[in-house]
Amino acid sequence: MKIPINLKAGSVDKEEKKEVIIGIDLGTTNSLVAYADGEETIVIRDELGSNALVPSILHFGSEGVIVGDDAREKLISAPQRTIYSVKRLMGKSYADLESLKASVGYNVIDQDTEALVKVEIDGKYYTPVELSAEILKELKVRVEKHLKTTVSKAVITVPAYFNDAQRQATRDAGKLAGLEVLRIVNEPTAASLAYGIGLSKDEEQTIVVYDLGGGTFDISILQIQNGIFEVLATHGDTHLGGDDFDQLIIDYWLSQSGVTTQDLKTNKSLGQEYRTQAEQAKKAISTIGSYDTTIDDKELSIDADTFARLASDLIDKTLNACKLAMNDAKLTNDDIDQVVLVGGSTRMPIVKTAVSGYFGKSANDSLDPDEVVAIGAAIQADILAGNRKDLLLIDITPLSMGIETVGGLMDVIISRNSKVPTRAGRQYTTSVDGQKNLKIAVYQGERDLIEHNRKLGEFILTDIPPMPAGIPKIEIKFILDADGILTVKATELRSNVETQMEIRSAYGISEEDMARMLIDSLQNAESDMKAKALLESINEANNIIMATDRFIAQNKDALTVEQITKINALKEKLQKSTSGDNKDVIEAAMQAMNIYTEPLAHEALDRNIGKALKETKL
């Protein structure tokens, strides 16, 4: 179902108008925006009309947030207030990110290893969704300046391996930036669309998308049939990209000049100079074959042969990932119709040669590798805008469907614009010890709080065997058939207790109501997101309070009176903070609790291991 809505008037447009839907490549290093108008695809460039890449970097300064090249300038001078690689944080819990935390200059917060990460800047706490939204806002401003009109709808790309939480986080970021995200598209799918692969209905192809960017490497194998893109396999390395090739040149120069890594660490601007020059050298080798420079009175040079020798291990690493992906997809080179190159680093001739050699066919690089994904996103957007009528249009769900979770939050299980039929599920648990029943309330709508959405029905999962809070594994499955009939199933997986209900989701709601709900969700995105963030912090705080009580009860013999008093004082402060409406106060109280209790928890763990070892009898 496609409903044209007029955002200004808040009404449904009866006549379908041509509208611009933008395509966004939200990248780890750089982001881009493009749009298409049925025939032509235009990539938005800077004021000089040359550079389309907006560095995915944010700087929080005295005048607010800046994004892009200006923010990049601040990486050295203000590392704690300059955020990069936000994409790596999307939908991630702290436990997922142990290694990243050590390598970035800003402060990634550890409150609860299971909770989603946050970044702290000057006592304020930001979610990756909020940070990504700033990048998207910048792209939105750029395209609006170019088109001289407001833009409210977008297609955003994500890596094929992004999970549900990461996709949802990307969607939320779009919403917060004032964009209705019509579709989240896999990056390799966008790349194939850019090359015109999969645009005709009866086409059948199997393609390899080799994507080597600034900091990440992905290889995807796609099968395209009847306009449907199926990801057969993905592989890659989330920490391998152009930066590593730059590092090879830096190391080579250090060995030439006698300067040490330590020197670069101590003298940050010298380090930056080496990095900048190394990247220039790499690019020069791609075009003219060699590079000479002087840094700090030291003459340095590198040629293509030396670089090829240095880079061979990294390239072999990417080819090995290709091999693993081909094995997973159970394909041989003969099955592959095309190989497509994506990402700035595929401009290195040694990469193209190696990839073409590996697959036994010339890799396609006729489009700008930095722009391919954004171009594909714009083409997908154009299809959704109805500007390419010859294309197969698959039926989609008009509104998101989900359930109520703690605090009255809407947890989306099937998102708006999903293809029908579809199924999706998620696991939950209980929040109270010995909980026997769980109410499952199903809602439809785009708002973050269920009170603003439309209730479709509710039922109770009964007879859950008594277990401590957090132990039951309750799987909620949504199955939506082609007629819009939703079946919701709840199963406690440890005991196999199951209940289900059927809901006729698409009925009883007029197009006007539907449009109203969409408009409301966009107009209230910011306040909704704030309310949601506050509720999430309160939920997290309550979990920490429960865990603290359990910790004291289990370790009261080993803890000193002072320690217990201090923990209780921190707990009281945390408890008090949850009755206010300042998320940052709650976050700070959680952090204070965590800083104090973490070493105590480690000691307790060591004690328990020691005890277990003593009790082990041979």
The CB-of-217 to ligand AMP minimum distance in angstroms stands at 10
Contact call for residues 36 and 382 (beta carbons, < 8 A): yes
159 binds ligand AMP per the rule CB under 6 A = no
Distance (Å, whole) CA 440 – CA 18: 41
Stretch in the footprint of ligand AMP (CB under 6 A) among 342-350, 450-458, 502-510, 599-607: 342-350
Nearer to ligand AMP, 27 or 445 (CB): 27
Judged by CB under 6 A, which of 164, 203, 251, 279 binds ligand AMP?
Answer: 279
**Residue among 110, 130, 138, 187 flagged as catalytic:** 187
Nearer to ligand AMP, 29 or 364 (CB): 29
Residues 366-405 that bind ligand AMP (CB under 6 A): 370
445 binds ligand AMP per the rule CB under 6 A = no
Distance (Å, whole) CA 224 – CA 197: 8
Distance (Å, whole) CA 564 – CA 549: 10
Judged by CB under 6 A, which of 142, 282, 352, 571 binds ligand AMP?
Answer: 282
Residues 44-73 that bind ligand AMP (CB under 6 A): 53
Is residue 73 annotated as part of the catalytic site, yes or no?
no
| Helix or strand (DSSP H, E) at 54 | strand 54-55
Judged by CB under 6 A, which of 286, 293, 387, 548 binds ligand AMP?
Answer: 286
The CB-of-107 to ligand AMP minimum distance in angstroms stands at 25
283 binds ligand AMP per the rule CB under 6 A = yes
Distance (Å, whole) CA 579 – CA 4: 42
Q: Which long-range contacts (CB under 8 A, 24 or more apart) does 224-227 make?
A: 224/192, 224/197, 224/198, 226/201, 226/202, 226/392, 227/198, 227/201, 227/203, 227/391, 227/392, 227/394
Nearer to ligand AMP, 84 or 125 (CB): 84
Q: In degrees, to the nearest 5, what angle opens at C-alpha 553 toward C-alphas 547 and 557?
A: 135
Beta strands in 238-386 (DSSP E): 290-295, 298-303, 338-342
The residues with which 338 forms a beta bridge, in sequence order, are 207
**Residue among 112, 172, 211, 536 flagged as catalytic:** 211
User: What amino acid occupies position 110?
Assistant: D
Stretch in the footprint of ligand AMP (CB under 6 A) among 190-198, 293-301, 345-353, 576-584: 345-353
30 binds ligand AMP per the rule CB under 6 A = yes
**Residue among 25, 244, 371, 587 flagged as catalytic:** 25
Distance (Å, whole) CA 481 – CA 312: 50
27 binds ligand AMP per the rule CB under 6 A = yes
Residue that is written with structure tokens 């709900």 in the block? 517
| Count of residues interacting with ligand AMP (CB under 6 A) | 19
Nearer to ligand AMP, 370 or 448 (CB): 370
Beta strands in 62-136 (DSSP E): 64-67, 82-83, 107-109, 118-121, 124-126
Nearer to ligand AMP, 292 or 549 (CB): 292
DSSP 156: E
DSSP 360: T
The CB-of-342 to ligand AMP minimum distance in angstroms stands at 7
Stretch in the footprint of ligand AMP (CB under 6 A) among 4-12, 343-351, 468-476, 489-497: 343-351
Distance (Å, whole) CA 127 – CA 118: 5
Judged by CB under 6 A, which of 111, 127, 192, 345 binds ligand AMP?
Answer: 345
Judged by CB under 6 A, which of 72, 347, 416, 571 binds ligand AMP?
Answer: 347
| SS3 of residue 461 by DSSP | strand
In angstroms, how far is the first alpha carbon of the chain from the final one?
Answer: 68
91 binds ligand AMP per the rule CB under 6 A = no
452 binds ligand AMP per the rule CB under 6 A = no
| Helix or strand (DSSP H, E) at 167 | helix 164-176
Residue nearest to ligand AMP (CB): 242
The CB-of-556 to ligand AMP minimum distance in angstroms stands at 53
Distance (Å, whole) CA 26 – CA 145: 19
Contact flags string 235-274 toward ligand AMP, x per CB under 6 A: ------xxx-------------------------------
CA distances from 201 to 62, 289, 380 (A): 53, 43, 14
Contact call for residues 538 and 586 (beta carbons, < 8 A): yes
Burial of 490 (0-12, 13-18, 19+ CB in 10 A): buried
Distance (Å, whole) CA 159 – CA 187: 5
Distance (Å, whole) CA 353 – CA 362: 8
Stretch in the footprint of ligand AMP (CB under 6 A) among 124-132, 174-182, 337-345, 528-536: 337-345
Contact flags string 193-232 toward ligand AMP, x per CB under 6 A: --------------------xx------------------
Stretch in the footprint of ligand AMP (CB under 6 A) among 158-166, 281-289, 302-310, 550-558: 281-289
Is residue 87 annotated as part of the catalytic site, yes or no?
yes
User: What amino acid occupies position 117?
Assistant: V
The CB-of-307 to ligand AMP minimum distance in angstroms stands at 10
- CA-atom Rg of the chain in angstroms: 26
The CB-of-28 to ligand AMP minimum distance in angstroms stands at 7
Residue positions counted in the chain: 618
Nearer to ligand AMP, 279 or 458 (CB): 279
Nearer to ligand AMP, 214 or 445 (CB): 214
The CB-of-273 to ligand AMP minimum distance in angstroms stands at 16
Judged by CB under 6 A, which of 29, 82, 168, 505 binds ligand AMP?
Answer: 29
The CB-of-309 to ligand AMP minimum distance in angstroms stands at 16
Distance (Å, whole) CA 15 – CA 534: 41
Q: In degrees, to the nearest 5, what angle opens at C-alpha 22 toward C-alphas 19 and 26?
A: 165
Burial of 102 (0-12, 13-18, 19+ CB in 10 A): exposed
Report the catalytic residues. 25, 87, 187, 211
Site residues for ligand AMP per CB under 6 A: 27, 29-30, 53, 213-214, 241-243, 279, 282-283, 286, 343-345, 347-348, 370
